[in-house]
Amino acid sequence: MRHLLLTTLMLAAPVAGFAADTKTDSDKAGSVAETFINGYVKASNARNWDSVKWVASSPLVTDNFKRTLKQMIADGFRKDPELGLGADPVIDGQDCPERFTLKSVKASGDTADIVVVGPKDFPMQIKLRAVRADGKWLVDASGMMLR
C-alpha cells in the first residue's frame, strides 16, 4: 500500500507543477510589457532621469531595444542639439499617465504585439513589441521604435 501511495505521489508531483503554470504566451508577454512600461514611467518622474541608463539596466528589454533607444536619442540630438527628438521615444510623446494597463496582446510564435492604455482621464496608448529569447519574453520595441 505504501509503495502504491509513494508511486502515485511521485507521478502526480510533476503534473501538479505543470498545471500551476497556466499563463499563455500572450499573458506572459503582456505582463512583461506592462511591468516594463509602468516601471519606466515611474522612474521617469525622478530627478536627473536618464532613460538610456535606466533602460540599459532593465532585465525586461532586449539588447536590441537598448541599442535602438541609445541610437535614436543620439541621432535626435545630432539633428537638433537643443530639443533632440522633441519627445520620449519609448512612450512616443512628452506626457503620459502615471499607470498603464493592458489593452491587447497578439502573440504569434516568438513575437507579441502589445498595446497598453492609460486611464479614462488620460487614455493614451503605447504600442510595444515583445520577443521570446531563451524562453523568456522581453520587450524589443516601444513607441517611436515601431513607427
pLDDT value of residue 21: 61
User: Is 9 within a domain?
Assistant: no
Q: Is 16 inside any structural domain? A: no
Q: Is residue 15 a part of any domain in this protein?
A: no
Rounded to 5, what percent of the chain is helix, strand, coil? Answer: 45, 25, 30
Note the pLDDT of residue 30. 98
CB atoms within 10 A of CB 125: 12
pLDDT at 88 over 90: yes
Residue at 18 is within a domain? no
How far is C-alpha 131 from the geometric centre of its chain's CA atoms? Answer: 10
76 lies in which domain range? 24-146
Question: Of the candidates 139, 112, 142, 138, which has an alpha carbon nearest to the alpha carbon of residue 127?
Answer: 142
Q: 111-117 and 101-108: which strand pairing?
A: antiparallel
The CA distance from 104 to 121, in Å, is 19
Mean pLDDT of 133-145: 97
- 52: pLDDT confidence band, cut at 50, 70 and 90? very high
Number of domains into which the chain is organized:
1
Q: Is the pLDDT of residue 86 over 60?
A: yes
Mean pLDDT of 104-109: 97
The answer to the question of residue 12 being in a domain is no
For residue 83, what pLDDT is reported?
95
The predicted structure's pLDDT at residue 20: 52
Question: Is 126 within the bounds of a domain?
Answer: yes
Q: Which of 32, 38, 98 is nearest to 61 (CA)?
A: 32
pLDDT at 15 over 70: no
131-135: Cβ within 8 A, 24+ apart? 131/62, 132/25, 132/29, 133/62
Domain assignment present for 100: yes
Q: What is the CATH number of the domain that holds 44?
A: 3.10.450.50
Residue 127: what pLDDT?
98
Q: Residue 36: what pLDDT?
A: 98
Q: What is the pTM of this model?
A: 0.84
Residue 101 DSSP one-character state: E
The verdict on residue 5 lying in a domain is: no
